[in-house]
Amino acid sequence: MTASLAGKPRKVVPKILAVIHADGCTGCEACLEICPVDCIFKVAGEDHPRLQAFCDIDLDRCIGCQHCRQICPRDAIEMVPTPEIAGHVAAKGGPPRYVDETWDALVDQARRNAEEYLAKKHR
């Protein structure tokens, strides 16, 4: 992890964003360790103690650097053009309970990132 970037606000929405396909993810944390902005988080835990561990991404902070995709041993991470991110997030899968509880918020977040990217691009 590059400590100098962690926790700092992102200046622009990148042209590509990362999506973790939950069904291919083992929760090994390799991506989480390498992400320079600490925007990858482990899902199973206090709120979901019985789920198999897997990781997800805070798209509001992803800078599209691709380090996570390069290191993932399961090819579970895809880099997606930002205007198309909402469709990919909607289809990324995961345990039914997690999908039920988070789908709306995660897809809304993806849609907002796409809209912000397109608005700045056409300004």
Question: Which of 11/123 has CB closer to ligand SF4?
Answer: 11
Closer residue to ligand SF4 (CB): 68 or 85? 68
Q: Do residues 43 and 56 lie in contact, with contact meaning Cβ atoms separated by under 8 Å?
A: yes
Per residue, the 3-state secondary structure of 42-57, as one string, reads: ECCCCCCCCCCCCEEE
The phi, psi pair for 102, rounded to 5°, reads -120, -15
CB of 19 to ligand SF4, least distance (A): 9
55 binds ligand SF4 (CB under 6 A): yes
Structure tokens at 121: 């691009």
Q: Which stretch binds ligand SF4 (CB under 6 A): 19-27, 82-90, 91-99, 103-111?
A: 19-27
CA nearest neighbour of 39 among 2, 90, 70: 2
H or E element that contains 107: helix 96-121
Minimum Å distance from CB 48 to ligand SF4? 15
The only residue of 13, 43, 76, 106 in contact with ligand SF4, by rule CB under 6 A: 76
Site residues for ligand SF4 per CB under 6 A: 18, 20, 25-31, 35, 37, 39-40, 55, 57, 62-68, 71-72, 74, 76-77
